[in-house]
Amino acid sequence: MHLQSINPVNGQLINIYETHTLHNVNEKISQTFDAWASWKQLPLLKRGDYLAKIAVSMVNNKDRLARLMALEMGKPVKAGVAEIEKCAAVCDYYAVNAAEFLKNEFIDSDASKSYVGFEPLGIVLAVMPWNFPFWQVFRFLAPTLVAGNCALLKHASNVPGCALAIEEIIKDSGLPDHVFQTLLIGSDLVNSVIESPLISAITLTGSVEAGTKVAAKAGSVLKKTVLELGGSDAYIILKDADLELAAETCVNSRLINSGQSCIAAKRFIVVKDISDRFIEVFKNKMASKIMGDPMDENTQIGPQATTELRDHLHQQVLLSIEKGAKCVLGGVVPEGKHAYYPPTVLTGVKKGMPAYDEELFGPVAAIITVNDETEAINIANDTIFGLGASVFSRNIERAEEIAAKSLQAGSCFVNDMVRSDPRLPFGGIKQSGYGRELSAYGIREFVNIKTVFIK
C-alpha cells in the first residue's frame, strides 16, 4: 500500500510514499514507549528548551515548508509562512509558560499537606487533518511534549510530505530519538494503534464521522480523547453594526485557507433592515479577492485540497440553489484539471438547504436574512455544530451579552473573526467535539491530575 501526494493546482502526482505495515507500526509504538521512560524524567524546563529549538528550526525553514503546503494541499505561500510562524509561536509560548501551568497546586484540607500534581500520561496518538497540516499538529504537539508525554502522528493521507517534514524538524532540533514519530498509515490501521496497550490517549481534528469512529474505539478501551471536529460558525450582523468592518471581517473569515477551515465563518445572519446593503458590500469584497497559483505571493485563494472535495462543495451549492437559494456570485466550476472553486455567495438561504444545515468547507458564503436579534440568535444556535460564533454591533455591552450568554459555541467573538490563539482555550461543543486545546486548559488534557495527601 502507498500514499500519494497530488498537486491540486494541476492534478499532477508529486510523490508516492510507501506506508508502514502493522509490524512497522508496532515497532514504532514500542520505540516511542521506550523513549518516554527517559523523556518524562527530564526537567520540565529542559523539555521547554527543546521546544524553543523547534521554534527556531520552524522559522528557519518557513519558506520551504510553506512551499510544501502549497504543493500538497494548495495553501497560498503567504498564508503558509504565517502558519509556520504560528507553530513557532505556540512552541515558544509553552516553553515559557508550561512550568506555571503544571506547577503543584496546594490546597487546604485535613492533611498536613495536600496538593494537586500534574504528571504525563504516556504516548498520545494524534489523528490530524490536511487543512492546516503544520498548525493542527503543533497545536497538540507543543503542550504534549513539554508536559512529558511522547507522541505519534497519523496525518491525513494527502499530506505525507508535510507529515515527514514535521518528523524531520523535530529530529533536527535535537530531541531524543523516537520521542515523536510519524506513522505513514491509512485509516484502516488507526484502530490497531488505539488498541495498543502502550497508547494512553488520542486527539483528533477532523470530520464528525472520523471523530465518532475514533471516540467509539477509544471508549471501548477506556482511553482519553480530545476531539475538534467540524463547524458551521454563525456571524450575526445586527442593524447597528459597522457594515464596512463587518463585511471585511466576514469575508476574511469565510476565505481563510481558501474557505477550508473549521472555524471559518460559514453562515452570515443579517437583520433585514441592513441586509441589502450588507449583501452588496460583502459580495463586492468577495469578488475582489485574487484566486490563483498558491506559489504566487499575491494569491489570496488557492485551489481546494482535492477535486473530490471541490465537487462535493459544488453539489451542496447546486442543491441549495435547487431548493430556493439565489447565487449572486460564483457557483461555477472553472474548466481544467484542478481543484479550484470561486468565491461564491448564496442569499435567501433557509432551513432544509445544505447551505443552512451542513458545513460548507470551501469559499461559499450562506447569507440568512432575519427579522430581528432574537431570530438571529435562534438561527445561529440551530445547528449540530458549536465551534465558534461572532456578533457585530456598535453596542458592545449588548454584543458581549449575546456572545457570553446566548450563543452556543466554544469561542464567541465580538466585532472580530473567530481564531485560535495559544493564550486562549480552543474547542467546541455539540458535534464540534469536546475537550480543549491551547492555554493552560489544553496542556492539562493529557496529564494525570493527581491528588497527593500527606497526613
Q: Residue 364 and residue 413: Cα distance in Å, rounded?
A: 21
Q: Residue 124 and residue 143: Cα distance in Å, rounded?
A: 11
- Of 215, 306, 211, 323, the C-alpha closest to 262 is 211
Inter-helix orientation angle 77-101/44-60, to 10°: 170
Tell how many helices (H) and how many strands (E) occur in the chain.
15, 18
Q: Would you please indicate which residues are annotated as catalytic (active-site) residues?
A: 228, 262
Asked if 359 contacts 388 with a C-beta cutoff of 8 angstroms, the reply is: no
Secondary element (H or E) of residue 162: helix 160-172
Residues facing residue 154 across a β-bridge: 127
Check residue 281 and give left, alpha or beta (phi > 0: left; psi -120 to 50: alpha). alpha
Q: Residue 333 and residue 321: Cα distance in Å, rounded?
A: 15
| Pairing, β 180-182 against β 199-205 | unpaired
Q: How many CB atoms lie within 10 A of CB 288?
A: 10
Nearby residues of 339 by Cβ (< 8 Å), 6 or more positions away: 8, 9, 11, 74, 303, 304, 305, 306, 307, 309, 310
Inter-helix orientation angle 135-146/160-172, to 10°: 30
Residue with C-alpha cell 447569507?
367
DSSP, collapsed to helix, strand or coil, labels residue 246 as helix
| Pairing, β 180-182 against β 364-370 | unpaired
In 149-299, beta strands by DSSP E: 150-154, 180-182, 199-205, 224-228, 233-237, 265-271
Q: What angle do CA 188, 182, 1 make, to 5 degrees?
A: 40
Residue type, 31: Q
